[in-house]
Amino acid sequence: MIQKNKWAWAWVPILYFTQGLPYVMVVTVSVIMYKKLGISNADIGLYTSWLYLPWVIKPLWSPFLDLLSTKRNWFLLMQLLVSLSFLGIGLTLPTNIFFITTLACFWMAAFASATNDIASDGYYMIGLTQEKQSFFVGVRSTFYKLANVTGQGLLVILAGFLENHYGDNTRAWSVTMLAAALLMFMLTAANFFATPKYESSSDINLEKPKGFLEVFRTFFSKKGMGMALTFILFFRLGESQLVKMASPFLLDDPEVGGLGYSTAEVGTIYGTIGVIMLTVGGILGGVLISRHGLKRWMFPMVLSLNIPNAFYAFLAISNTSHIAAVVTTVVLEQFGYGFAIAGFMVYLIYIAEGASKTSHYALATGFMALGMMLPGLISGYVQEWLGYDGFFIWVVIAALPSIILLKFIDYPADYGKKGASDE
């Protein structure tokens, strides 16, 4: 008999901090690093957007994790692999082929991080009772966001400080990535000691996937799934492009349409204040859905995701770099993003309902990642073609498909409301 909930306050926070850090380093910090190392916006948008791919296709290998070993062994191995990937980036940045070697390391970190997500979430469901899973959902979310603040905020601020200290961006980012590697090694060790060995061989046998292809057939044959997946793919059409070019816009020189902010300033504004507001928006969105249901708030959430993008267009068109205007723009955009994503994630949970819920949710989040990856691939080319002012105008226009598609997707009005029927 497994003693569930054991040491939960010790391992849940560490496990989800460790889940959040690699993701933000791969998806966001890589953009800032490459920008400061002289890579073009077109190449940044193309190559860093491909790094979403492991999260897109992770449902393809998720059932096999249970067949080969325990979830605990998997996430410890993957966390160690992420640590080695960051170490590889730090060591190869000073070389002449740094772009190729660091991208290869980021790819390794991305696949390891996506696999770590699968194993960590599975361990969370095994190690806690259903009641405690609900209780700790806020704790895991908070520490995941703290990891974002650490990566996108504190580590970027460190890089900015070292840029000024050394007068050499390459050396500054090399040291920063070595610091990230050391932090990941320490977190991996902490997870090794904090996480109990819940999984026995009998548990693994009970959770082996049944009917691998059946999981896919039942998912795609659900009523209205075609329209639902179209909505998922277009939901963040504008945001998925903006998120790739927001940091380059802040960092670029005014001569090319940027705002000329330093690395440390971007780390503070976008990576710290912005992430805090994203967290606040997400919490508020969850509270409102639990009170009134998803239907009442879905349209306002779609608007909150896209309207703040117009502020970026205003900054670019007017060449406004005043700190108050920039901070206000980032605060509104990140708050709106967090607020909207709360509703979006609840919708993904809804379409995953039924048999094979865990696998179906992985498939839904895979399409969500695809909706981020594909537009991001061309974001840098579009920005270089249109300039920052034209690019942000296009981002505003890109909101229209999700607003239109919202009228055609179907879900219960009270879904997500506290006390609503689960039928």
Q: Please report how the helices 98-127 and 8-24 are oriented relative to each other, as an axis angle in degrees rounded to 10.
A: 150
332: CB partners within 8 A, 6+ apart: 308, 311
Place of tokens 């999700």: 402
> Residue 293 is part of which domain span?
213-423
Q: Residue 1 falls within a domain, yes or no? A: no
Looking at the fold, whether 178 and 276 belong to one and the same domain comes out as no
CATH number of domain containing 158: 1.20.1250.20
Place of tokens 């691998």: 212
Give the pLDDT confidence of 176-225 residue by residue, as tens digits.
Answer: 999 999 999 999 999 999 888 776 645 444 444 455 677 778 888 888 88
* DSSP state, residue 50: G
Which SS3 state, helix, strand or coil, does residue 183 take?
Answer: helix
Provide the domain count of the chain.
2
Give the pLDDT confidence of 166-186 residue by residue, as tens digits.
Answer: 999 999 999 999 999 999 999
- Measure CA of the first residue to CA of the last residue in the chain; give whole Å: 31
The closest of 237, 247, 235, 227 to 341, measured between CA atoms, is 235
The reported pTM is 0.75
Q: Residue 2 falls within a domain, yes or no? A: no
Looking at the fold, whether 45 and 86 belong to one and the same domain comes out as yes
Q: Residue 81 falls within a domain, yes or no? A: yes
Q: Are 273 and 330 in contact (CB under 8 A)?
A: yes
The larger pLDDT score, comparing residue 96 to residue 68, is at 96
Lowest mean pLDDT among 38-52, 206-220, 284-298, 396-410: 206-220
The closest of 284, 283, 327, 33 to 151, measured between CA atoms, is 33
Place of tokens 């998720």: 62
Q: Hey, what amino acid is at 223?
A: K
* Average pLDDT of every residue of the chain: 84
